[in-house]
Structure 1
Amino acid sequence: MPLLDIPVRVGVQLVPQHVPYPGIRDAVLRLEDLGVDVLFNWDHFFPLSGDPDGLHFESWTMLGAWAEQTERVEFGALVNCNSYRNADLQADMARTIDHISAKGGQGRFVFGTGSGWFERDYDEYGYEFGTAGSRLDDLAAGLVRVQERWAKLNPPPTRRIPILIGGAGEQKTLRLVARHADIWHSFVRPHELQHKLDVIERWAQREGRDTSGLVVSNELPRRHPEVADALYDGGVRLFTLAFDGPDYDYDLVRGWLRWRDERNGGAR
């Protein structure tokens, strides 16, 4: 079972669409100043909502800028698409961003990854879409290569870079979670959570891996505090909020940060 005696954290997914980059840059600063724990973007090449040909920016380039811009907050993609870049290159990029973010200490980069799903990205950028199963098989192979490359790089990462894996498929995705993940992210509802955690634990036993330290992550958008409370009771400790611009609602973030602080026993 995942550890329950770790503090609640709030992550904000700053979606990289429909906003000129200066607006995103300003939002990063404001969210870090508010006390958000983790900042995420996503790894796509086109908007996922609104005008499909609207403003949009690439994930990893942006993360390099965040590494330099921020001082405290952890950050990463929710999630990187394994299909879009060679696995060894992903490892090297992650290691480099880790060092950029270290500022004299340990890095703050979180390697969030998944198998990919948005077919337009594949078609327009010339990647083979394959099937859901083939993409998951590629992710399984890619995760091995990423970790092997981290062990070879000079200099190595500043810390053991946390791996976040998104998804809830029981035959392949949750087995990868049991095998590799430090953080498991999903949209699972409270009543489904225990079953999925049991699946992860069964896979972990087969993989011979201790997942007692697994951090469970889930979504906040469109969820009321009582749903978040139920997720918390089920073991979720990282709560992520999708954040759309250009008219960012910082009061929404402040409300969830107050909820976080209540769960953690008082204001920070």
Structure 2
Amino acid sequence: MTDLTSPDWNAQLDKALRLFARKRGCDLVKHIRPIVLANLKIGRFNYYLKRHPEHQLTDYVDYVADHYQQWAAYIILLQQTRSDQIWRLLHSKLTVWARHYLSSGKYNLAQGEAEDIAHEAMLVLITARFPYDTHFDPWARRILRNTCAQMHRKAKEVAELREQQQSEQGPTPVRKLEESVAIHQDLLRSIETMSNPDRQRFLLLHYYQDLSFAEIQPIMNKTLSALYKLHFDALEEVREIYNRQGQEGKASSLTIRRRTAA
């Protein structure tokens, strides 16, 4: 991985950005400089060099700038403006991809869970940092595959816990199931203190009455994309409540799943 503490390396980066500014303007440099720096820190430039060994840092800066000009407006609509149309189209695309992955038989998940998988991936996509050294679809597909894998592991763990509980003699409960119940109790207390009644109602319907997004839609009279955004905002408020209660560790790792999946 690139050694960013090297004086020689910093000089190369400054030189590459100066050359870029002369060719394409200082305004664009202001936007791409933090992107390039962030990518260097996580090794994306090294990955780029493996695919293009003949290239140099100046080529990578141009590469990032080209992708920034192509995708910046879309990322703003998705992550900041949260355009209803963008959300709806992206969720539909993710659902199609999820159904394809599930049909492979690799994941121990039902086809009916494709929309839930797509929504979980959406929650990542609207907060993740887009690196601008790739096109959006391959990046989104990778996040969706990771989401499938995570949900597969969770489903497997739950199945093993239930099997273990059924095979145990006597009433002794499984420790992890006890912890799951405690988490749901903490969540319910947090929901009761929420300031937004729509967010509160949605979480109760989805996680405690086990209703799907499609089932909640006519009850709350909202579009699916509006429900996706409501879900995201509700999770953010729950995390803020956990933080105020001094449960920062729990808030930072909070991933709420529907009750029947726990």
* TM-score (ref. length: structure 1): 0.23
* TM-score (ref. length: structure 2): 0.23
Which structure has the highest helix share of the two?
2
Larger radius of gyration: 2
